[in-house]
Each structure stands twice: as C-alpha cells, then as structure tokens.
Chains A and B, each alone.
Chain A
Amino acid sequence: MTLLGSLSLWLALLVGLWGAITGFAGGAQRRADLQQSARNATFALFGALLVAVISLEVAIFRHDFSLQYVASRTSRNLPTFYLWSALYSGQEGSLLFWAAVLSLFGALTQLLTSRRHRLYLPYVAAVTCLVASFFVSVMLFAANPFQRLPFTPLDGSGMNPQLQNPGMVFHPPMLYLGYISITIPFAFAIAALLTKKLDAEWLVAVRKWTLVSWLFLSVGLLIGMWWAYVELGWGGYWAWDPVENAALLPWLVMTAFLHSVMVQEKRGMLKKWNLALIIGAWVLSIFGTFLTRSGVISSVHSFTQSPVGYFFLVFLVVSAIASFSLYATRLPLLEAEATLESMVSREAGFLFNNLLLIGIAFSVLWGTLFPILSEAVRGTKITVGPPFFNQVNIPLGLALLAMTGVGPLIAWRRASVSNLRRQFAVPTTSGVFVLLILLVAGMRDIGALMAFSIGGFVLGTVVQEFARGARARHRQYGEPIPVALLQLLSRNRRRYGGYIVHVAIVLLFVAFAGMAFKTETQATLRPGETATLQGPDGHVYAFTHLGISQYNALNRQVTAALVEVQRDGKPMGRLRTEKRQHVDALGRPTFEPSTEVGIMSGLRVDLYVVLAGLVNGTEQAVFRFTINPLVWWVWFGGLVLVIGGLIVLWPGGTAVAVKGSKATSAQAGYAVKLEAER
C-alpha cells in the first residue's frame, strides 16, 4: 500500500501538471480537445489522490509503523475514532488531505457548474490542478507521508493528547474545507480575468462556492474555539494566537465579499473591489497555511518547523504577484455600470461595512506580523498578545456590530429623512432600552455596555425587518403570522437567512462581552473541604472536593478528582476533572500528563474546574475554579450562524437578479427598501 501511495502521488503530480497546461492552453486556443483533457485531468487527479489517501489510512489502521508518519502520530492503542483523524493530525498527512479535498472540489466544479458558465471551466481546471500540483510537489519533495523509517518500531509514539478530543477530529477538516474551497471562487476569478468576461456571470458561478467556503471556515473557527475551551484548560476560547488569526483573516475578507457582492449584483458597481477581495481571500488562505506550517511565528497550533515553509513562501509570493498583475491588466475592463447616488444609501453602507471588515483584517494581520517587523527593523523581539489585539480590535468590532444593524435600515440608492426616521425608530429605542436596563442593574463596564446596547439595536433591526415582512404577507395574502414568517424565510432565503446570521453575530458579541466579568480562584482542598467563589451572576458557588480516584483507560492512566457543586447552598451536581498520563501499548508513557477540564455549562455561567495536581502524592489537590459568564451563548450563536448560513445556501427560493447577468430570475430581495423608495 505504501508503494501504491507513493506512486499515486507521482501520478497526481503528472496529471495535475497536465491538467494545468491543457487547461490554460485549451482556454487560450479555444481547443475543445485540450479543454476536455483538462476536465478529465481533474477527475484523474482526484482519483490518484483518493488512492493515496486510502493507502495512508490503510497504513494507519494496520499500524504500519514502518511509515514515519504512522509511527510518529499513532500507537496501537489509539482509539479508532482518532485513527481517522490521524490522517490530518500531522504535517504530511494534512497536506495530502488538503490536496485530495481540493481535487474533489475541482472535480465537483467541473461536474456541477451550469452550461452557461462553461467558458470559465478550462481555466478553473487549470488553476485547481496547478494549486493541487503544488501541494503534491511539497509532499513529494519535502514532507512525504509515505516516507519509510530505517527500522520498524514495536509501537508508535501516539497522538498528542490535546488532539485526542472530538473537537480536533472535526476542527481541522472543517477549517481545511473552508481554506481549500476558497480556491474555487479564486479559480473563477482568474478565469474571468483571463477570458476578459468580467460581467457578473462569474459572480453567479461562484456565489454558492463562496458561501460554502465561508460556512466551512465559520464552522472550523467555532469548533476550534470549542476545542480550545474544553481541552486547553486556560478558560477561554480565543487567544489571538497567530494561527487563529491566520484562519480569521480569510473569513473577514470573505465576509466583506459576501456583502459587497450584493452591490455588484444589484447596481453593477464594485467590480474591481470584489475581484480584489476574492484574490485577497485566497492569498490569505495560503498565507495562513504558510504561517501554520513554516514555524516563522511560534504558536501552540503550528506544526513543527520544517522546510515546507520555504515552498509556501515562494508559492505565496509568486501566486500573489501573478494574480494581482493579471488583475491590474484588466482594470480598464472593470468600470462600474452605475455610480453612487448618495452618502446615505445601502451601497455606501456596504462600503463602510467593508472598510471595517478589511480594517479589522488589516489590524489582525499587522499585529500578527509586527513581531517579525520589529525584529527586522530594530533587532528587538517583542510579543504581540491579547492586550494589543483587544485594544485595537474591540472598538472596530463594536463599530462593525453597529453597521450590522444600520446597513439593513438604509434604502438602496438614496434614503430620505422620513425613511430614516421610520426605519431607525424601533431599533434605536430597543438599543437605548437595553442600555438603560443595564445601567439601572449596575453594569459599569463601558465595553460590555456598548456591546449589549448595540446588540439590542441590531436585534431591533432584525425583528423589525421580519415583523414588517410578515405583516405585509399577512395583509396581502391573509397568511397567519407564523406562516407568513416561514414563507418570508423560504421565499427570500438569502435576505432573511442573512438576518439570522446577523442575530448570530449579536449573540457572539454579547457572549464575548460577558467574558469581561469572569471570576476565578485557586484553592488547595483535602477531601471534604470546600472553596467558594462569587459568580458574576450574583450567586455564591461552593466547590467541595469529594476525592481522588485512579484507573486505567484504553490508552491512558487517569487520575480523576470529583467535585460537588452548590449554588447558594443548593446542590447543582458533580464535576469531574482529570489528569491523564497517556501510554503506548507497552505501558510506556508517551507524553507529559495532560489535563481534562470539568465543565458545567449553563445559560448564565459556565463552571470551569481544572485539576492542577496533587500535593505530596496525596488526595489533597490543587484546583483552579473559574466562572465564565455567557459562554453557552458562543456555541448557541455559532449554531444560529450555521443555520442562517445554511438557509442562505439552501437551493431554491427566489433568486436575486444580477445586473449584467443573463439570469432570468426575478428580483425579490430588499423588498422593504424598494417599497420605501417608491
């Protein structure tokens, strides 16, 4: 199987290069035979890489420790669940996973793209084949998953304990799927530039792919946050780590694109900007990969330093220069079909929304790279940690949150004063109402007050939009309000699904603001002893240490502490927090002992208990008790975001007409705004 895997990689490289050459040549010369060959190459590429993936998975499941990758990532007693994720738990395997998924997306694009966008497909095949070939060449020349060891060890080193968590089974593939699928809109953008067919057709072709990519990135980020929270034990879910930042950057740019693309669809404006955003998102996805894999910036998430960083750096620079040069040559063809009519218009709102999103992306990128810049300029190493990012990004984030509520309230083209008064009355009242309630309740944290009150404003906007739409349907068609709401959602999924995503953003911001009120303490407790901690919700929580137990599990030796929790003297239940010493099949310790957090999650607060260790080998234990407010709402907000995204993505509903497109679908979006213009 190992030989088959290696041969498959070489075959994939050859097929990928062939697909790239025939795709570009077939597109340029309009030769049907070459175009067909490029199309076939995408399928063959996927086939070859699928064989390579299966070969590696078979080696993992058969515990073939003659393979360096299998020996260094797994052990005989690793649970089956994690044998699956071992495929992408290391540098070499994740590169293979990346290339294979990209080839799958490339093949699906060839199959699923409608006939009227066939013009772009040879170039799309060429770009996807070229990018996949790059990943395959990195494997073949710097990080081969089928590299053999000179000897076969009895057992492997096992998987890093922090990766033995369900979150880590789903987080990397979701993030990779997001990163990888950005290549498809990018390929269409390059195809549009090469064919000089730069009307809105290419946008129609990539709209779903862009959303798919954004949704996968969102899910990947959220699962990553959940994993960090439940596994790493520091009590938070976002630490502005360089690798976290690298994943956030393309997400921010994609979010900007998903907003500004509406202006191009509706008004034929921002063509240059939208193309730049798509190219930028893709370049940032490769930049993120470079950061993760080069070791250029230290991070808890990064793979070990390896020569693949140089490959990625060269690829990043060459592809960015090539893409933006091509873009620059086509600028004269990207003139807007209309112009902005008023500063107070939906179009201007989208521009300011984009300014903030790209501004945040820039500040995150700047902060991530500033240590390198500082060292290059001054020769001084510095750290840019959470205090820096919070200081720079919290005001921008709050402004963006406000724009989430302001944008939908402003009419397209031009908003009149009476229109603004009518639109803003309810949301502003709800925001002020929330602010007053919190002030009366005694909240004085400025950041949290702003987040909660702006959140109230945005919710007011969304509720108003749904209420007006449902009322209109009720009046016009006599539908009961619940039916009208459902009809509203199903007939214009893009608009109302988008509003649901806005609600999710509010929930996430409110939850983030809640962390300003977290409380914690450390305590040394003998069995029967109790530590108390006042929660930010005003309740007093008591944690009683019940005792320590030790037992063996499949691939680990567990030391567990049981803690009973009471709120204001009333029992709430028990929590278990553990120390785990992972061992291989021969009982040899494989890693340093790891910590498993005990979490009791509620709507208001999470109780978060960590066993730090034992005193003198006795049952006297050291704990850290943390009360994290509103964390549950992060996960719920994430769920709402995914639901909103899926509603937007779901096929059917009434399509939005695209200016300059040959699509014949009827316009149905932004109805209230159009009505307001009349």
Chain B
Amino acid sequence: MSDRVSRREFFAFAAAAAGAVIQDTVASARVYDPERAGHPREPITAADNDAGIQAVEKKLRCTCGCGLDIYTCRTTDFTCTYSPALHKDVLRLAGQGKTAQQIVDEFVRQYGEAALMAPPKRGFNLAGYFVPSIAIVIAGAFLVRAIRRWTREAQAAAPPPGGPTLPPDATPAELERLRRELDRLPG
C-alpha cells in the first residue's frame, strides 16, 4: 500500500517537474545572443539572500583585488569569478554547521588576516584602531593646556578694570569710522 502511494507520489512529482521545465521553456525564451549578456548566472537561492550569510560575507574581502567584501563584489562585479567561488565556500562552511565566527576563522586560516575587511583588534592591529584616537586626545589635551596658558598670559597683560578701553593712539577720524562701521552692523 505504502509502495503504491509512494510510486504515485513519485509520478506526481515527476509530472510537476516536467511541467515546470516546460513552463520554464515557454515563459523564458532564449535571448538572441546570450554571449553578450555576460557570464551566465545561476538562479538565486534562499541562502544567497540569507542575512546571516550576507553578514559573514561583508566581513570578508574578495581576493580578486577589487577591495570590496565578498557580498558586495558578488552582487556588483558580475564578471568576477572569485567572489562567487568564495560565496560557495561560505555556503559550504555554513552547511557544515559552522557559526559565523568559525567561518571567518576558517577564511583567516586559509587566506591570512588580509581576508578580513578590517583587521582583528589584537596585537599590533590595536595601533591601527587606537593611534588616531589617542593622537587626537593627546593633541586636544595639549591644545587645552596651551589655551589655558595663553588666556592666563592675556589676563596678566590686560589693562586694569576701569582703564582705557580704546587704543590710546586712536585718532578722532578713526573713532568716527569705528562708530560708522558699528552702526552698519546688523543684529
């Protein structure tokens, strides 16, 4: 009984598959010259659109020399033969049940640290991440100190309160010009 049902199911599946092929042929006619349309593509699978896979691929650099990550390269430069192959590697490793970090580690083991889009935060690479920030903080501290020193000097050199507020050598003509200019100012 179960055998008969199984055979029926098999034929039903075969018929559906044949129908699909026929429908494919009918709906998707061949183009005039496939050669000029670039490299032939395989249909997109659910794994190609998987957010987890994409996230891993965005951490890994394509080895074709484009400087892009695997995901961006395989969905941008459709002439690249490296990124589709690397994508398949990622899928294969994911299929083996490896976690995202394990896949990344496997790529680093195979291709070295250059496989990563950003160097790992350890050892000498820490200098890469923190030198700019440290330099800015140190420069900022120096700047604050320098400004404090300058302001102290300025205060020491300032005339006593109630003293003259205008340059003693200002001529009446200059004072008149200053008054005119101030009058012209908006706000």
- Spell out A's residues near B (CB within 8 Å): 232-235, 239, 241, 298-300, 339-343, 348, 351-352, 355-356, 358-359, 362-363, 366-367, 370, 374, 377-378, 380-388, 391-392, 396, 468-473, 476, 488, 520-524, 526-528, 548, 550, 557-559, 579, 581, 592-595, 610, 612-622, 624, 666-668, 671-672, 674-675, 678
Confirm or deny: B166 has a beta carbon within 8 angstroms of a beta carbon on chain A.
no
The 9 lowest CB-CB distance pairs between A and B, nearest first, are: A617-B34, A472-B186, A363-B132, A613-B41, A593-B38, A385-B117, A671-B185, A359-B136, A672-B187
B119, A522: Cβ atoms closer than 8 Å? no
* Neighbouring B residues of A367 by C-beta, 8 Å: 128, 132
B76, A233: Cβ atoms closer than 8 Å? yes
Confirm or deny: B5 has a beta carbon within 8 angstroms of a beta carbon on chain A.
no
* Neighbouring B residues of A391 by C-beta, 8 Å: 118, 129
CB distance from B159 to the nearest CB of A (A): 13
Given contacts A593-B38, A617-B30, contact A383 B116 (CB under 8 A): yes
| Given A339-B154, A472-B187, A526-B27, 19 new contacts (CB under 8 A) | A232-B76, A341-B151, A343-B151, A352-B140, A380-B113, A382-B113, A472-B185, A520-B75, A522-B44, A550-B31, A550-B37, A557-B33, A559-B38, A581-B38, A594-B79, A614-B37, A614-B40, A615-B28, A675-B187
Give 1 or 0 for each of B149-185: 1 = CB within 8 Å of chain A CB. 0110111011000000000000000000100011011
A to B CB contacts below 8 Å, 26 in the list: A298-B65, A341-B150, A342-B151, A343-B147, A351-B143, A362-B135, A366-B131, A374-B128, A380-B113, A385-B118, A522-B49, A523-B44, A527-B27, A548-B31, A550-B33, A559-B36, A579-B36, A593-B36, A610-B75, A613-B39, A614-B31, A617-B40, A618-B24, A620-B27, A620-B43, A675-B185
In the assembly, what is the distance between CA of A666 and CA of B183, in Å?
13
CB distance from A579 to the nearest CB of B (A): 5
Confirm or deny: B139 has a beta carbon within 8 angstroms of a beta carbon on chain A.
yes
B132, A359: Cβ atoms closer than 8 Å? yes
- Spell out B's residues near A (CB within 8 Å): 24, 27-44, 48-49, 59, 61, 65-69, 72, 75-79, 112-119, 123-125, 128-129, 131-133, 135-136, 139-140, 143-144, 147-148, 150-151, 153-155, 157-158, 177, 181-182, 184-187
B187, A671: Cβ atoms closer than 8 Å? yes
Say which residue of B34, B123, B181 sits within 8 Å of A667 (CB atoms).
B181
- Which of B31, B34, B37 has its CB near the most chain A CB atoms (within 10 A)? B37
In the assembly, what is the distance between CA of A612 and CA of B181, in Å?
65
CB distance from A305 to the nearest CB of B (A): 12
B118, A384: Cβ atoms closer than 8 Å? yes
* Neighbouring B residues of A621 by C-beta, 8 Å: 41
* Neighbouring A residues of B66 by C-beta, 8 Å: 300
A234, B67: Cβ atoms closer than 8 Å? no
In the assembly, what is the distance between CA of A340 and CA of B157, in Å?
12
* Neighbouring A residues of B40 by C-beta, 8 Å: 613-617
A528, B27: Cβ atoms closer than 8 Å? yes
In the assembly, what is the distance between CA of A352 and CA of B144, in Å?
9
Say which residue of A384, A615, A671 sits within 8 Å of B119 (CB atoms).
A384
In the assembly, what is the distance between CA of A378 and CA of B37, in Å?
45
B36, A550: Cβ atoms closer than 8 Å? yes
Say which residue of B31, B49, B187 sits within 8 Å of A521 (CB atoms).
B49
Say which residue of B41, B42, B67, B78 sits within 8 Å of A385 (CB atoms).
B67
In the assembly, what is the distance between CA of A461 and CA of B24, in Å?
61
B181, A666: Cβ atoms closer than 8 Å? yes
B37, A384: Cβ atoms closer than 8 Å? no
* Neighbouring B residues of A672 by C-beta, 8 Å: 185-187
In the assembly, what is the distance between CA of A648 and CA of B155, in Å?
35
* Neighbouring B residues of A378 by C-beta, 8 Å: 123-124
In the assembly, what is the distance between CA of A265 and CA of B45, in Å?
63
* Neighbouring B residues of A382 by C-beta, 8 Å: 113-114, 116, 119, 125, 128
Nearest A residue (CB) for B157: A339
CB distance from A412 to the nearest CB of B (A): 13
* Neighbouring A residues of B124 by C-beta, 8 Å: 374, 377-378
Given contacts A343-B151, A370-B128, A581-B36, contact A355 B139 (CB under 8 A): yes
A239, B67: Cβ atoms closer than 8 Å? yes
Say which residue of A383, A579, A615 sits within 8 Å of B43 (CB atoms).
A615
A522, B75: Cβ atoms closer than 8 Å? yes
Nearest B residue (CB) for A580: B36
Given contacts A383-B117, A614-B37, contact A392 B28 (CB under 8 A): no
* Neighbouring B residues of A374 by C-beta, 8 Å: 119, 124-125, 128
Say which residue of A359, A381, A593, A595 sits within 8 Å of B114 (CB atoms).
A381
In the assembly, what is the distance between CA of A616 and CA of B29, in Å?
10
CB distance from A119 to the nearest CB of B (A): 28
* Neighbouring B residues of A612 by C-beta, 8 Å: 41, 75, 78
Say which residue of B28, B76, B187 sits within 8 Å of A619 (CB atoms).
B28
* Neighbouring B residues of A476 by C-beta, 8 Å: 186
Say which residue of B37, B72, B155 sits within 8 Å of A559 (CB atoms).
B37
In the assembly, what is the distance between CA of A358 and CA of B139, in Å?
10
CB distance from A325 to the nearest CB of B (A): 23
In the assembly, what is the distance between CA of A396 and CA of B135, in Å?
13
In the assembly, what is the distance between CA of A180 and CA of B184, in Å?
40
Say which residue of A232, A468, A613 sits within 8 Å of B37 (CB atoms).
A613
- Which of B27, B44, B115 has its CB near the most chain A CB atoms (within 10 A)? B44
B132, A366: Cβ atoms closer than 8 Å? yes
B128, A384: Cβ atoms closer than 8 Å? yes
In the assembly, what is the distance between CA of A579 and CA of B28, in Å?
18
Nearest B residue (CB) for A236: B72
CB distance from A335 to the nearest CB of B (A): 12
CB distance from A644 to the nearest CB of B (A): 19
Nearest A residue (CB) for B39: A613
A366, B24: Cβ atoms closer than 8 Å? no
Say which residue of B24, B68, B155 sits within 8 Å of A239 (CB atoms).
B68
- Which of A374, A470, A581 has its CB near the most chain B CB atoms (within 10 A)? A374
In the assembly, what is the distance between CA of A527 and CA of B112, in Å?
44
* Neighbouring A residues of B119 by C-beta, 8 Å: 370, 374, 382-384, 388
* Neighbouring B residues of A340 by C-beta, 8 Å: 147, 150-151, 154
CB distance from B2 to the nearest CB of A (A): 36
In the assembly, what is the distance between CA of A61 and CA of B144, in Å?
60
In the assembly, what is the distance between CA of A56 and CA of B132, in Å?
45
A355, B143: Cβ atoms closer than 8 Å? yes
Nearest B residue (CB) for A386: B117
CB distance from A295 to the nearest CB of B (A): 11
Say which residue of A233, A383, A613, A674 sits within 8 Å of B185 (CB atoms).
A674
* Neighbouring B residues of A352 by C-beta, 8 Å: 140, 143
* Neighbouring A residues of B177 by C-beta, 8 Å: 666
Say which residue of A387, A468, A619, A622 sits within 8 Å of B117 (CB atoms).
A387
A300, B186: Cβ atoms closer than 8 Å? no
* Neighbouring A residues of B49 by C-beta, 8 Å: 521-522
Given contacts A374-B125, A488-B186, A614-B31, contact A392 B39 (CB under 8 A): no
Nearest B residue (CB) for A340: B150
In the assembly, what is the distance between CA of A348 and CA of B149, in Å?
13
B128, A617: Cβ atoms closer than 8 Å? no
- Which of B113, B115, B150, B153 has its CB near the most chain A CB atoms (within 10 A)? B150
B59, A387: Cβ atoms closer than 8 Å? yes
* Neighbouring A residues of B125 by C-beta, 8 Å: 374, 382
Nearest B residue (CB) for A487: B186
Say which residue of A235, A387, A471, A527 sits within 8 Å of B118 (CB atoms).
A387
* Neighbouring B residues of A300 by C-beta, 8 Å: 66-67
B184, A668: Cβ atoms closer than 8 Å? yes
Nearest A residue (CB) for B181: A666
B30, A618: Cβ atoms closer than 8 Å? yes
B28, A620: Cβ atoms closer than 8 Å? yes
CB distance from B185 to the nearest CB of A (A): 4
CB distance from B111 to the nearest CB of A (A): 10
Nearest B residue (CB) for A531: B44
